[in-house]
Amino acid sequence: MEMVLTLLVSGLIVALLVIGLFVFGLRRRLIQRSGGTFDCSLRWNVTEERDHSGKGWVYGVSRYSGDRIEWFRVFSYAIRPRRELERAAIEVLARRLPEGEEELALLSDSIILGCLHRGTRLELAMSEDALTGFLAWLEAAPPGQRVNVA
């Protein structure tokens, strides 16, 4: 009887893990469904300009949505974006390569953009291809919007 109960509990745990992974993959598919997505790590509310400790970085996926970027955490089941960055409010301050422990915290080909969004300093890390698309998206703002691309 104990053996049957153990097998039943083990089977339920495996089934829950499989369902969780399926939902996780389905969420990623739903985010990418409308297109215009790219891998983008985010560090929000950066206090020190020269903080290369690797702390605070969160791996995510960004999606272009009209005049804003929607940022989703990769390791989450949430369907809504965690952050929304409006094109008119994004100011690019600097561009740099990962240094120190950041090289371990980010994807290998990442380039970091230091930005300001509505008074909050943040950093975005993305591939060079994604960076090219992001900067082109910023520069393609409708007439009358100010765009600051460093």
CA nearest 137: which of 49, 43, 54, 68?
68
149 inside domain: no
pLDDT value of residue 29: 74
70 inside domain: yes
pLDDT value of residue 118: 93
pLDDT value of residue 85: 96
The model's confidence at residue 47, banded by pLDDT at 50, 70 and 90, is confident
Above 70 in pLDDT, residue 50?
Answer: no
pLDDT value of residue 149: 63
- Is the domain of 111 the same as that of 74? yes
> What mean pLDDT do residues 8-19 have?
90
pLDDT value of residue 110: 94
- Is the domain of 40 the same as that of 98? yes
Tell me which of 84 and 56 has the higher pLDDT.
84
Can you read off the two tokens belonging to residue 5?
Answer: 């109960």
- Is the domain of 93 the same as that of 26? no
Asked if residues 72 and 81 have their Cβ atoms less than 8 Å apart, the reply is yes
Write the DSSP string, the chain: -HHHHHHHHHHHHHHHHHHHHHHHHHHHHHHHHTS-EEE-EEEES---TT--S-TT-B-EEEEEETTEEEEEESS---SS-SEEEEGGGEEEEEEE---TTHHHHS-TT-EEEEEEETTEEEEEEE-HHHHHHHHHHHHTPPTT---B--
Range of the domain at 131: 35-139
Residues 6+ apart with CB under 8 A from 111: 95, 96, 97, 125, 126, 127, 128, 131
147 inside domain: no
Asked if residues 40 and 62 have their Cβ atoms less than 8 Å apart, the reply is yes
The model's confidence at residue 53, banded by pLDDT at 50, 70 and 90, is low
pLDDT value of residue 111: 96
146 inside domain: no
Q: Tens digit of pLDDT for each residue in 105-140?
A: 898 899 999 999 999 999 999 999 999 999 999 988
